[in-house]
Amino acid sequence: MSQNDNNAYWAANVRLIRISLIIWALVSFGFGILLRPMLSGISVGGSDLGFWFAQQGSILVFLALIFFYAWRMNKLDHEFGVDED
């Protein structure tokens, strides 16, 4: 892999990590803590939506982000020819 390809690969990887961390922070800190008073009127599973995000939603989003990151990195590895196959 050339230096330009290497830089492009790592730039795409860091961009993907940054987007994933922003989504996770928004869901866990934003919805669970900062926006909780605004979400208190919406009921999910017998509790308000802010509490649900703080207790379960952020964990589920984190798990979804793990699977999305693995899937996207496999595609990125294949695009740059560094996949394991």
Among the listed residues 81, 65, 57, the one whose alpha carbon sits nearest the alpha carbon of residue 2: 81
Mean pLDDT of 64-81: 94
Enter the tokens of residue 85: 């196959």
Q: DSSP letter at 42?
A: S
**Residue ranges of domains in the chain:** 3-80
Note the pLDDT of residue 68. 97
C-alpha distance across the termini of the chain, in Å: 16
Q: pLDDT, tens digit, for every residue of 1-27?
A: 688 888 999 999 999 999 999 999 998
DSSP H or E segment with residue 26: none
Give the per-residue pLDDT at 41: 85
Pair of tokens at residue 69: 């990151």
